[in-house]
Amino acid sequence: MQDLLDKIDKSRMPRHVAIIMDGNGRWAKEKGQDRLYGHFHGVESVRDIVEGAGELGIEYLTLYAFSTENWDRPVYEVTGLMELLVDTIKKEAPDLKKNNIRLHVIGDIKMLPEHARNELVEVMEDMKNNTGMSLIMALSYSSRWELVNAVKNIAIDVKAGKIDPASITQDTLQAYLTTSAFPDPELMIRTSGEYRISNFLLYQLAYAELYFTNVRWPDFRKENLYEAILDYQSRERRFGKISEQVKAEELAH
C-alpha cells in the first residue's frame, strides 16, 4: 500500500473525487447473506475512504449513497438503509468533527424520514465551521431531479424579474445546482463492475475522468482509492484541445 501511495504525485491531485458506491447487495449475496448485511459493511469502506481522501489532501469527496430511484426498492431494504443512515451519522459525527471534516448533503432531503433529516441537519450545523475536507453525501439525489429543480427555480426568478433570460450563462445554471458551492469532480469512481452513471452528477461530470473497478463497495479500501488516483494521473486531460497544446500549456506553467 505504501508503494502505491509513494507513486502518487501530490502536486497533481484531483480536488474533487466523486464515488458511486455500488455492489453492496451482490457482495452480501455472494456470502449467502441478506442485502442489508452488505450495506452495513459498506459503512466500513466509507470510513476508510473518508480517512484516506483526507490524508491525501483531497478537498471535496462526494459519495452517492442513495438515489431518487432507490426509493423504489423493497420497503424492507429502504427502511433498513434509513436506519443505517441515522445510526451511522450518530456514530461517526464525533470523529468527523475531530478530523475537521465538513458535512454537506445534496439531494431531495424532504423525502427522508423526519428523524433522519433532523439528525443530518443537526450534525451539519455542528460541523459548519470546520475547515478541512468537505464530505458531500448524495442522499435521495438524482441528476435529473436536480436539473429540473434548477430550471424551475430559474423560471421563478425570471418571472420575478430577478434574472434577465438573455443574461443566463453556464455560471447562472451552476449557481442553481445543489453543487453550486463545489468545483466539478475531476475523477469519478464507480465500484462493482457496472459501467454507467445512474443519474449521478450528469452536468458536473462533463469533463471528469471516469474510473471503473470490479471491486464491490464493501471491499473498497484506501489502496483501491490510490490505484484510481494513479490511473487518473496517468491520463491526459485535453478538454477538446490537441495533445501538443496541452503539453505546451503545461510547460508554460
Residues 61 and 19 sit within 8 Å (Cβ to Cβ): yes
Known active-site residue 70:
yes
Asked if 209 touches Mg ion (CB under 5 A), the answer is: no
Give me the DSSP letters along 200-242: SSTTTTTTPEEEE--S-GGG--HHHHHHHHHHHHTS---TTS-
Count of residues that interact with ligand IPE, criterion CB under 6 A: 18
Given the rule CB under 6 A, which of 14-22, 110-118, 152-160, 242-250 is the region that contacts ligand IPE?
14-22
Asked if 25 touches ligand IPE (CB under 6 A), the answer is: yes
Please give the helix or strand (H or E) that residue 134 lies within, else none.
strand 134-141
Interacting residues with ligand IPE between 66 and 125 (CB under 6 A)? 66-67, 70, 81
190 secondary structure, DSSP code:
E
Which position among 18, 19, 20, 22 is part of the footprint of Mg ion (CB under 5 A)?
22
Asked if 204 touches ligand IPE (CB under 6 A), the answer is: no
Given the rule CB under 6 A, which of 15-23, 103-111, 204-212, 241-249 is the region that contacts ligand IPE?
15-23
Q: Which of 48, 70, 130, 149 is catalytic?
A: 70
Partner from Mg ion, ligand IPE, none contacting 14, C-beta within 5 to 8 A by type:
none
Please give the helix or strand (H or E) that residue 141 lies within, else none.
strand 134-141
Report the distance separating Cα 36 and Cα 24, nearest Å: 8
Given the rule CB under 6 A, which of 8-16, 19-27, 233-241, 243-251 is the region that contacts ligand IPE?
19-27
85 burial (CB, 10 Å; 0-12 / 13-18 / 19+) is: buried
Tell me the CA distances in angstroms from 40 to 29, 80, 211, one per residue in order.
13, 9, 24
Asked if 24 touches ligand IPE (CB under 6 A), the answer is: yes
Cβ closest to ligand IPE, residue 20 vs residue 49: 20
Report the distance separating Cα 247 and Cα 252, nearest Å: 9
- Please give the positions annotated as active site: 22, 70
Site residues for Mg ion per CB under 5 A: 22
